[in-house]
Amino acid sequence: MERELYYAIGDYLLAHIERHGHARTAEAFGVSRHTLWRFLERGQPGRALPRAVMARAGDTPRKLAAATRALRGDARPAPLECVRAPRLTQALHETLLLVCETPFASVEDLSRIKRLPASSLRERLAKLRRMGLAEAHPHRLAMLSDRPLRRYVPTAAGVAALGDDDLLYHHPVSRQWLRLLAERLDGVALVYELAAMIADADPEEDPVRVEHCRSGPYDALITLSGGRTLGVVRQGAMLSSASLRYRLRTLERQDLQQLPHVTLIATDSDQDTRRAVRALREPSGFHHSAVATLGAVIGQGARARVWQPARYGRGNTPVIEPSSSLAWLVDLAGREAEHPVHRVMPKRLWAWRSAGGARAAPPVPGDLSGAVATQLGSAEKRMLDLLAAWPLCTTEQLANLMGGLTERRANQLLRALRRLGLARREGEAHVLTDEGLAYLARRDRAAVGTALGRWSAEHTPDGLYAGTALRALAAQAEHQRGLAEFVSMLALDARYSRDHDLLDLLPTHRSQITYRHDETNYAIHPDASFQLGHKDEWTWYLLEYERRAVTPRRLPERLASYARYFRSGRAGLDHGGRPPMVLFVFETEHAEEVFLRAASRLPDVPLASATTGSIGFDGPLGPAWRLPAPAAPERRRLYFLALG
């Protein structure tokens, strides 16, 4: 089948699906939904479906294109209200079109992405706001700026003023699209920042196009001049490693034409980055992937060597060098785009792009005023993330985790979250409501139902929490209280220490480590994990707050899982080449003595212990820790343990 005819049939089917849905489209052409899926997603046309489409809509690309336009025209809503459109200068017209192409972008984003002076853009956007053609929403995100940034979207009058009837269907400016992007606004802002960094690293210095993806594995596609395309997959704190692996497997099933030249996977923590690197398969001949921690990318810039390739150190040598920079990846995308294979097999990325849809409606005034992302400040958002990571914490513990806030300030932040219906108090503890969980899940493009199923604080008729994970934490109330007290003290001490820095303090459900050893899959489940820096020397720590496995019989069983993990050789690979330190905290000195005797038989596992009493006197960073024999029995400071 000719390429032009294939694409024309695909466009007609997408238009038919927008109007009638998948089920009715398959029924209309006498095929199964699986056949329809194989045509659109796998590029396997078969015979029956193209024959049925050509019999109905025409057997040439021109006839099919006309049928597609007619189908979309029939599906469109009533035209916008006929109001005399204001006269726009060419500069204002171009700026308004840029706002439609990149809704919720700030002046700084547009300036870097589109190669325009920020002062000129700011002046034009102010004029568009006064004319009622665009509106600005304040947005605060600590990773990007200490001050609020204005993010611009077009109004219904602005869409009408451009005089393009297809605007709602070619750009993400419909009411449905803007509400979706408002729910993901924090993630959208980070994607724009990454796109701006790519534009800064592009030697061609041409404008960059950013296309958001409504569904599928990609958050956005970033296209540079010459057809060079990079796909962005962002893993937020609420997106589990299993969900990320599913998205990566979806990409692996696609053919070359459906993939951008380079896929960038941006994670929330270094631990997530290492899991994602393990999940990636070997790079193919013409598509390459790289993983990095988004905070490191934004903090260190496009030239920083923080990107890791697919399964570095195994099998075939990857094309992407270990610890590559974003600038190098942009150059790699350019080399791939120039390869002759892409002229023979041009990219078909429309599978990931989402049109406005058959029911696309113009923006509604005031529709975005209630967006949670624009109502919360940076501190409230950080408190919301802490409640998701450490539920059932007290106000004092949350204040310490926030870096030593006063309880009055912590209560102000919690009160703001309760006023918006995102959090609530459970006795002395605090939890997220279903609305708060849904907001975080949508922000990170995670499944809302899965998040509620695990963490919902609603009560069942039996008086238990509806969320299975939250119910398990509540069933171990003393253990959870002790763990929360330890991590809050650690965060507070690190905040006021001149020599220490704390990074990636991860809760139990984000600290799980899976590995393969002797043809068997294993997992360890630390209660928490974190990176601690002492005078620029960084060490990973795995924490076990132990209340049950404290007998001479149960402790060796618990230590055996760590012995197997370190024996497998994965411990160093999972933590940047340097094995982590495993910390055990006990409530009594007797339990600690039992542990030290058992740990002395495992010289290859870096173990240390403390008691709640020793920690309570000097804090987790103080001389509270003991090493097993043959080390001397005196207690040491935490940073000293990593020195051996």
pLDDT of residue 356: 56
CATH number where 115 lies: 1.10.10.10
Name the residue type at position 356: G
Name the residue type at position 597: R
pLDDT of residue 286: 61
- Whether 392 and 431 have beta carbons less than 8 Å apart is answered as yes
Q: What is the CA radius of gyration of the chain?
A: 27
Which tokens belong to 258? 């459906």
CA distance 444 to 185: 10
Which tokens belong to 180? 């979706």
**Does any domain span residue 370?**
no
The residue out of 132, 160, 183 marking a domain boundary is 183
CA distance 107 to 122: 6
Count of residues in the chain: 644
Say whether both 515 and 604 belong to one domain: yes
Which tokens belong to 332? 């790699």
pLDDT of residue 557: 84
Domain that holds residue 21: 3-75
Predicted structure pTM score: 0.84
DSSP 395-462: HHHHHHHTTS--HHHHHHHHHHHHHTTSEEEETTEEEE-HHHHHHHHHHTT--HHHHHHHH--PBPTT
pLDDT of residue 76: 45
Say whether both 309 and 196 belong to one domain: yes
Say whether both 515 and 633 belong to one domain: yes
Say whether both 580 and 532 belong to one domain: yes
Please list the rounded mean pLDDT of every run of 10 residues in the chain (644 residues): 77 84 88 83 79 90 87 54 64 94 96 95 94 94 92 94 84 91 96 97 94 91 92 95 91 81 93 86 70 94 88 50 86 84 61 57 87 95 97 96 94 96 95 97 95 96 94 94 96 93 94 88 93 90 87 83 91 85 94 92 93 91 92 89 73
Say whether both 197 and 288 belong to one domain: yes
Say whether both 430 and 298 belong to one domain: no
Sheet of 149-154: strand order equals: 105-106, 149-154, 134-139
CA distance 538 to 235: 24
Q: At what angle do helices 3-28 and 48-57 cross, to 10 degrees?
A: 90
pLDDT of residue 609: 95
Place of tokens 């200068």: 89
**Which residues are bridge partners to 320 per DSSP?**
none
Structural domains of the chain, count? 5
Which tokens belong to 331? 């150059």
Place of tokens 């005399």: 84
**Does any domain span residue 339?**
yes
pLDDT of residue 77: 44
Say whether both 199 and 335 belong to one domain: yes
Say whether both 240 and 92 belong to one domain: no
pLDDT of residue 586: 94
Say whether both 116 and 199 belong to one domain: no
**Does any domain span residue 60?**
yes
- Cα→Cα distances 577→313, 539, 572, 574, 606, Å: 12, 11, 4, 7, 15
**Does any domain span residue 371?**
no
